[in-house]
A and B are shown apart, each in its own frame.
Chain A
């Protein structure tokens, strides 16, 4: 099956919330399963979803962000009812009981299906996150021109 040109899906992931990241990866996986060229562009808080989870940052502020935003995808909390991590744990338990794939599994499935994960260079710069702090399998960091070009090849562009 050949991927049709101009029929792709582009998802810009700005949110660092568990629920929104689940939605973003779920849509990406669905699009890739429908043989669409699928690109996810991670910017600002969204970067956390593709971080390894180690400490980051160089300057004082950078390290503060690194401390507050540590832990990678498994430490992403829901946008509501997080309650200092209790809500995150609750949602994880409920999803597991219902056999709904976790964020980690969704992200791995996306990678397995050939979804390309692009980090936003400007966000990496601002938050002092290095390419080494990102998981294996992500693309080279890029900017708005690259993201718009992906969007031009897509039928859907979503901003989450």
Chain B
């Protein structure tokens, strides 16, 4: 990682399947203020497409999302 992303909240979504990861993220994003970042890990590979789609629909930002073996690791910033 070239630069460290600072997360305000960390979420473990490992083991959860569709639609629970987006449910948990949408709940978590309401608990942070605008500009804050949620870091999460998941094992559902669908999350790679689903979280960016959810972010576009809700107007939030996926700073980074990548697969690290079986884990999908991502950062979401609340924008509104």
Q: How far is the CA of A32 from the CA of B26 in the complex (A)?
A: 9
A126 within 8 A of B: no
| A9-35 near B? 1/0 per residue, CB < 8 Å | 000000000000000001001101111
Contacts of B58 in A (CB 8 A): 1, 34-35
A-B contact list, 7 entries, CB within 8 Å: A1-B29, A1-B58, A1-B80, A34-B26, A34-B58, A98-B17, A100-B17
Please tell me which one of the listed residues B17, B23, B30 contacts residue A99 in the complex, with CB atoms under 8 A apart.
B17
Instruction: Please list the residues of chain A having a beta carbon within 8 angstroms of any beta carbon in chain B.
Output: 1, 26, 29-30, 32-36, 98-101, 106, 109, 113
What 0/1 pattern do residues 8 to 38 of B give for CB contact below 8 A with A?
0000000111111011011001100000000
Contact: B17 with A29, CB < 8 Å? Answer: no
Question: Is chain B's binding surface mostly helix, strand, loop or mixed?
Answer: helix
Complex interface: chain A residues within 8 A of B19 (CB): 26, 29-30, 33, 101, 106, 109
**Smallest CB–CB gap between B18 and chain A, Å?**
7
Q: Determine the main DSSP class of A at the interface with B.
A: loop
Contact B16 A99 (CB under 8 A): yes
Structural contact, A30 and B22, CB atoms closer than 8 A: yes
Interface string of B48-80 (1 = CB under 8 A from A): 000000100110000000000000000000001
Given contacts A1-B30, A1-B58, A1-B80, A33 and B17 within 8 Å (CB-CB): no
- In the complex with contacts A1-B30, A33-B54, A35-B58, A113-B23 CB distance below 8 A: yes
